[in-house]
Structure 1
Amino acid sequence: MLPAVVIALGSAVLFGLSTPVAKLLLGEADPWMLAGLLYGGAGVGLLAVHLARRALGGAEAHLARGDLPWLAGAVVSGGIVGPVLLLLGLARVEASAASLLLTLEGVLTAVLAWFVFKENFDRRIALGMASIVAGAVVLNWRADVTITELAGPAALVAACLAWAIDNNLTRKVSLSDPVQIAMIKGLVAGPVNLAIALLAGAAWPSAGTVSLATLTGFAGYGISLVLFVLALRHLGTARTGAYFSVAPFLGAVASVAILGEPVTPALALAGALMAFGVWLHVSERHEHEHEHEELAHEHRHVHDAHHDHAHDGPVDPRRPHSHWHRHAPLRHAHPHVPDSHHRHRHP
């Protein structure tokens, strides 16, 4: 589990640091245009990675035809709708406050995972999410707030919902090649957003802005998404969303350092509440006797307690490899999370 946690945190670091950079770039580019450049940079960069890795040989399972509806929904919600809502919100809210508000993505991701996709949770996890929500309320609460002033935070909450839908749909295809998944998202979402921006009359930004935006997109949206998909595979949707919630804290710190934004008491209290919620998730331990039903699928794996099958040809079971394989029924007890092999019911 620890390597998967590190992967999720790495995804959070890259995305969190991209938020204040995007805030800076909004002064130079239209939100639709910037969304297109960010995702276009992710798509083109990962295309180069995909081609290079394919030339060298890889061990990941390719997307199957049955994966395409899930991926299409994820591309629309997370690659087109979410980024534009984020940038519209950033234009109206300080980047540090926006970064912490984006922690709600993890909450909404978990709510959908629990109640729509039936992923397991307990009181500790629910308390952690409640603490994160409380932090978001503290961050944006003012007795004299107007409807106009709520537009920015509302856009950010809507972006979080779009990404929460994206995360749960991506979970359905997370056993497939994460580079291919993230690449397709970028190559579709980037051109679509650019086309919308140009049709709406947006001006093409300077070469420097384009370069910085595409590089930021490659790291903060492309590589970050690859790591996120890997974490989904090993941790489940809600837990990955919880670990990813550290991204806004990093974005808030970077906003104070890069943009010179003030550290207010509300910002500090909201950060403390959100940090406590994330800690409850990170320190979770879930162990009981459980049963694995017979299952057949394809994904990258090594042989362990859950992968003990024969091969038709010569394969080193200790090295990562990918092929269609079958899991025999198994009953045992060990610490686990709702990953791809632990989707069982709980009493």
Structure 2
Amino acid sequence: MPVVLAVAVTVLLWASAFIGVRAAGHDYEPGSLALGRQLAGSVGVTAILAVRWLRSGTRPVLPRGRLLVAVLAWGVGWFSLYNLALNAAEQHLDAGTTALLVNVAPVLVAVLAGVLLGEGFPRRLLVGMAAAFAGVAVIAAATSSGERDVLGVALGLTAAVLYAGGATSQKRLLARVDALTMTWVGCLAGTVALVPFAPALAADAAAAPPSSTWAVVLLGLGPTAVAFTTWGYALSRLSAGRAAATTYLVPPLVVVLSWLVLAEVPAPVTFAGGALCLAGVAVATLPRRRVAPVPPVPAARA
């Protein structure tokens, strides 16, 4: 599969996830929605892994020891905690505003690289951070209804932190474990971590209309099973920064889909804050152009 196609599938499906969460969130609580999505996602990833196994005839090599512990921890963080934070955020904010907040994650990835990988804090990173978090402050001033909702903003930023941690740790682990196998193990770990929400899922599923239940199932099959598979494939072939930069397209896609499907449009102030966020992310994470050295001019001969 070409990397460009993997990135395009990931971006489109992850954008649709914000719409699905917002739509299903009217009938499902954050915990039950996360568990329902993960159950469907686990089935989907297992099917993808089984197809690859049958085609190649090679059994997947499972991580062991400390590597297995690291993959399990990654799965709980991204597939469980991230989904809980995202679902809860969209109980307070519209889909477009939430997407703008969550996609400050590439800045956080750069910060983690500076702290954990010794890549430092160049001036462009500091400027980008300032712009991105100024945008967050603007978004915090108003949601689509014009009301303050600090809790929703805090939950959106929590999701961004978990996203950044997940992307950073996944990139490091992919050097030691196959992308699809890692996705499968992590997805199962996230599902197990959400089992305490099983009673809430049963109650919500019994009362929810079929459209909301189908939204939960599609969230698991599309944005979880397929998109995390294509994301792992792309991340194994790109740097973490370049892969994260591709998610710049997610917020505008979410805003368009939210307008078409949910008839929600973020407030004008939110657009201004989102533009600041995306500009800050771009400044902080896009590589600088290297200026070719100017060859010395030979001295004129008399």
TM over 0.5: yes
Cα deviation for residue 221 of structure 1 reads: 1.9
Among candidates 209, 215, 219, match of residue 218 of structure 2: 215
Conservation of the 8 A alpha-carbon contact between 2:167 and 2:240: yes
Output the amino acid matched with 2:257.
Answer: A
Aligned-residue offset at 1:273: 2.6
Asked if 1:253 is matched to 2:229, the reply is no
Q: Match of 1:345?
A: none
SS in 1 for 2:92: coil
Q: Secondary structure at the match of 1:203?
A: helix
Structure 1 unaligned segments of length 5 or more: list them. 143-147, 289-347
Paired position in structure 2 for 1:79: 79
Q: Distance in 2 between matches of 1:75 and 1:244?
A: 20
Q: May I ask how many residue pairs the two structures share in their alignment?
A: 280
Matched, 1:197 2:200: no
Cα 1:110–1:134, aligned 2, differ >3 Å: closer, same or farther? Answer: same
Where does residue 69 of structure 1 map in the other structure?
Answer: 69
CA–CA distance in 1 between the matches of 2:71 and 2:63? 11
* Aligned-pair identity (%): 23
- Seen in structure 2, the aligned counterparts of structure 1 residues 161 and 283 have a Cα distance that, compared at 3 Å, is closer
By how many angstroms is 1:23 displaced? 0.5
Greater shift, 197-206 or 68-77, is seen at 197-206
Partner of 2:36: 37
Offset of residue 127 of structure 1 = 4.2
Task: Give the Å deviation of 1:228.
Answer: 2.1
CA contact (8 A) 2:171 2:235 kept: yes
How far apart in 1 are the matches of 2:196 and 2:21?
19
SS of the residue 1:234 aligns to: coil
Question: 2:23 is aligned with what amino acid?
Answer: L
Tell me the equivalent position of 1:297.
none
Q: C-alpha offsets along residues 123-173 of structure 1, whole Å, 9 cap, x if unaligned?
A: 44554454433332222236xxxxx83111111211221222222221222
User: RCO (CA 8 Å, sep 6+): is it higher in 1 or 2?
Assistant: 2
Q: Which has the higher helix share?
A: 2
For the structure 1 residues 24 and 10, does the alpha-carbon distance in structure 2 shift closer, same or farther, using more than 3 Å as the test?
A: same
Residues 211, 185 of structure 1: CA spacing in aligned structure 2 closer, same or farther, 3 A cutoff?
farther
Distance in 1, matches of 2:201 and 2:103, equals 33
Secondary structure of 2:265's match? coil
Match of 2:159 in 1: 159
Q: Which amino acid aligns with 1:247?
A: V
One-letter identity of the residue aligned with 2:244: G
Partner of 1:264: 267
The one-letter code matched in structure 2 to 1:18 is A
Give the whole-Å Cα distance in 1 for the aligned partners of 2:241 and 2:82.
Answer: 19
The structural deviation recorded for 1:79 is 1.5
Segments of 4+ moved more than 6 angstroms: 58-61
State the distance in 1 between where 2:191 and 2:69 align.
19
CA contact (8 A) 2:16 2:254 kept: yes
| Superposed counterparts of 1:1-347, under 5 Å | 4=3, 7-57=6-56, 62-65=61-64, 66-119=66-119, 122-124=122-124, 127-141=127-141, 149-175=149-175, 176-193=177-194, 195-199=195-199, 203-205=203-205, 206=208, 207-277=210-280, 279-280=282-283, 284=287
**Is contact 1:20-1:254 (8 Å) kept?**
yes
1:189 CA drift (Å): 1.7
Q: Which segments of 5 or more consecutive residues in structure 2 lack a partner in the other structure?
A: 143-147, 292-302
| Structure that is richer in strand per residue | 1
Distance 1:41 1:85, change over 3 A: same
- Note if contact 1:63-1:173 (Cα within 8 Å) is conserved in structure 2: no
Confirm or deny: 8 A CA contact 1:239 1:281 kept in the other structure.
no
Return closer, same or farther for 1:137/1:63 CA change in 2, 3 Å cut-off. Answer: farther
- In structure 2, distance between residues paired with 1:95 and 1:229: 24
For 2:41 and 2:103, the matched residues in 1 are separated by 22
Question: What is the CA distance between 1:60 and its match in structure 2?
Answer: 10
**Deviation at 1:38?**
1.4
What TM-score comes out, normalization by structure 1 length?
0.70
Does structure 2 conserve the Cα–Cα contact (< 8 Å) formed by 1:96 and 1:251? yes
- The answer on whether the counterparts of 1:124 and 1:284 sit within 8 Å (CA) in structure 2 is no
